[in-house]
Structure 1
Amino acid sequence: MPIIVGFVPTDEGRAALTAAIGEARSRASRLVVVNTSTGAALVDARYASEGQLGEARRELDESGVDYELSQSVDSKDAADVIVATARRTNAELIVIGLRRRTPVGKLIMGSQAQTVLLEADCPVLAVKAQRD
């Protein structure tokens, strides 16, 4: 059973990737890295560029874990894509990065992390980026 990680090119996304690599190593599991966008905006900072994906691939290659990197533009929110991927692959774990949000930001924008936590059928590991 694989481990699914939601990857975005941010400090939180990199922290999630690093944690997921550690989990994949310790469990001898395959890692499925998911980067997605709804395509609703002309520029989506969560959708990784080729250079950002290249950096992630280098980290994954150096780690030695078996992995698959998936990038898509989908009509669904990232949380829904992550949960659907976990269900489709019968994942044993989902790893996501968390960022601080104001109460108003949560109210207006919703929370992808909350959706994953509530909808996932498997355990979810939520990690934070280190503060400077």
Structure 2
Amino acid sequence: MTILAGYAHTPEGEAALDHAIALAQKDGLELTVFDLDSTTSDADRKFTPPTESAPARKLVESGIFHRWLARSERSDDAPDELLDSAQEHAASLIVIGIRSRSRVGKFFLGSNAQRIILGSHVPVLAVKAAHHES
């Protein structure tokens, strides 16, 4: 079984990746990371992040089996691609990061997290980034 983490280059994306790594380690599962911010021309969306990047280091240091996927250059619908990847890789759980948005913001821009949650055929764990008060 596989956990699929929807990773964005944001604090929420980092929180999703951290939770997914912890769950994969705890349960001995594979981890597939779907990079929502990167694209590739590869037909099966395989992608190798820069090895010096913090997310790549976290994955290597975790010791878990993982693969990294990116969005297709030909598509602009990240939520649908993430859901397709969940089916292709037989994900048992999707982990995504979320943030608060105003009603007006949701109306005009939609909500990718909502589309993933409502469109998924497997459980979705929505995590928030830690906020530190000054």
* Secondary structure, aligned partner of 1:92: strand
Give the distance between the partners of 2:130 and 2:87, measured in 1 at CA: 30
Residues 1:14 and 2:14 aligned together: yes
Is the alpha carbon distance of 1:38 and 1:76 closer, same or farther for their aligned partners in structure 2, counting shifts above 3 Å? Answer: farther
Counterpart for residue 89 of structure 2 = 89
1:4 and 2:1 aligned = no
**How far apart are the structure 1 equivalents of 2:65 and 2:51?**
19
Distance 2:6 2:65 in 1: 16
Name the structure 1 match of 2:44: none
Give the gaps of 5 or more residues in structure 2. 40-48
Query: Deviations along 1:40-94, whole A, 9 cap, x unmatched?
Result: xxxxxxxxxx669721110111111111011233414211111110111111000
Q: Contact (CA 8 Å) 2:51, 2:57: kept in 1 or not?
A: no
Give the superposition deviation at 1:101: 0.8
Indicate if the aligned counterparts of 1:36 and 1:74 stay in contact, CA closer than 8 A: no
In the alignment, what sits opposite 1:47? none
**Aligned-pair Cα RMSD in Å:** 2.0
- Is 1:113 paired with 2:113? yes
1:26, CA displacement in angstroms? 1.5
TM-score, normalised relative to structure 2: 0.83
* Mapping 1:20-99, distance limit 5 Å: 20-37=20-37, 54-72=53-71, 73-99=73-99
Stretches of 4+ moved more than 6 A in 1?
none
Measured at CA, do residues 101 and 33 of structure 1 come closer, stay the same or move farther in structure 2, by a change above 3 Å? same
Question: Greater strand percent: which structure?
Answer: 2
1:121 aligns to what SS in structure 2?
coil
Question: Partner letter of residue 55 of structure 1?
Answer: A
Q: Would the aligned equivalents of 2:32 and 2:66 in 1 still touch at CA under 8 Å? A: yes
Query: Against the structure 1 CA distance between its residues 118 and 26, is the aligned structure 2 distance closer, same or farther, given a 3 Å change threshold?
Result: same
